[in-house]
Amino acid sequence: GENVEQHPSTLSVQEGDSAVIKCTYSDSASNYFPWYKQELGKRPQLIIDIRSNVGEKKDQRIAVTLNKTAKHFSLHITETQPEDSAVYFCAASNNAGNMLTFGGGTRLMVKP
């Protein structure tokens, strides 16, 4: 089955700096890669996703890149703000509506 590795497990940045979180996956059949943000005690919320037919997607301060050959994808957050502090999870699936395999999560702390 699919295996998703996520790094780093914790990341501390100064407000205004950029943050990058990286994930690798094992199953070449995976073609859908969402990123979820989870604040303490709250539901995971989708912040951006990418499908395997594109290499990059941007939404304001958030971008995701995908390298299918190397089987890795990354989340980039620019101009970080304290409210970006949360745990971020990457995931992979062989289709958007199918089961997700999650990475272990990255705790992002943005210091004001």
Partner 1 sequence: GAGVSQSPRYKVAKRGQDVALRCDPISGHVSLFWYQQALGQGPEFLTYFQNEAQLDKSGLPSDRFFAERPEGSVSTLKIQRTQQEDSAVYLCASSLSSGRNIQYFGAGTRLSVL
Q: Which residue among 92, 101, 108, 110 contacts partner 1 (CB under 8 A)?
A: 101
Give the separation between CA 32 and CA 24, rounded to whole angstroms: 13
Residue 45 in the binding site for partner 1 (CB under 8 A): yes
Q: Which of residues 2-41 bind partner 1 (CB under 8 A)?
A: 4, 6, 34, 36, 41
Classify 92 as helix, strand or coil: strand
Write out 31-63 in H/E/C secondary structure: CEEEEEEECCCCCCEEEEEEECCCCEEEECCEE
H or E element at residue 86: strand 86-92
CB of 91 to partner 1, least distance (A): 8
CB of 18 to partner 1, least distance (A): 23
Output DSSP code: residue 105.
-
Residue 100 in the binding site for partner 1 (CB under 8 A): yes
Residue 85 in the binding site for partner 1 (CB under 8 A): no
Which positions touch partner 1 (CB under 8 A)? Answer: 4, 6, 34, 36, 41-46, 49, 89, 91, 95-105
